[in-house]
Amino acid sequence: MHDIVFVAAPSDAISADIARRWQFPVAGDVPDGLYLRMQDGSLGLYDGADRQQKHAVSVNFLSPQSQYRKAHGGGRGEPVVKAIGMKGSDDYRVIDATPGLGRDAFVLASAGCHVTLIERSSVVAALLEDGLRRLKDSDPLLAARLTLLHGNSAEVMQYWDQSDVDAVYLDPMFPHRKKSAMVKKEMRLFQQLLGDDPDADALLPPARQLAKNRVVVKRPNSAEPLGADKPSMAITSKKHRFDVYICHNA
């Protein structure tokens, strides 16, 4: 984990409030490494080595790509929705224990799920919070189906005191074995910030103990299943596989 500074002018009250709540040190100058800043009304993660600031990482649920996925069937035809097991219920509750930039959580919420995103990185949690803030201004009903928690997913699931979780969704960071130029710059920034998920296997046991219906693990098609147990079934797409572990905790 890198120490992240928040680059902001002294007069920028919005940035100062975000930095204070998430306990980011504030700097006036751009550092050499990763940093956060508000730009055009949204929070972004930047690399100080990229002086042109072309490749910020931000959470944008209002992007054309996100809105296209929402508009075309509300995401119900997407493999992740099929894998999660929602069948017409308007009260299907999902924990996304590795939300990243929230794209799959957004698809699930667009399909009607109530999704709790648990993120342990304060940087990523701040980006998600900012994306949810802007989504709430545009689509408050959809935003109400997305809840953000900041914490360690394994611990939160272990001590979850309600029996209302229908499914748990896991999408661990997978080490890219191609040359770095082949990996999206956005993903490279994310990996620079977080690294891989060496403890991803530790998420599966508490997830399977908590979910009433199933646990879904997103993997590259070339990757082995997470953990030692064989999944109950799998749903495949062009690049990914959704391993499904059926649970009986109702």
Long-range contact set of residues 204-207: C-beta below 8 Å, sequence gap at least 24: 204/170, 204/229, 204/245, 206/154, 206/157, 206/158, 207/95, 207/97, 207/157, 207/168, 207/170
Residue type, 61: F
Residues at the binding site are 103-104, 119-120, 171
Residues at the binding site for S-adenosyl-L-methionine are 103-104, 119-120, 171
Are the CB atoms for 217 and 204 separated by under 8 Å? yes
Residue type, 100: G
Helix axes 122-138, 13-22, angle to 10 degrees: 130
Q: How many angstroms separate the Cα of 5 from the Cα of each of 2, 15, 42?
A: 10, 11, 16
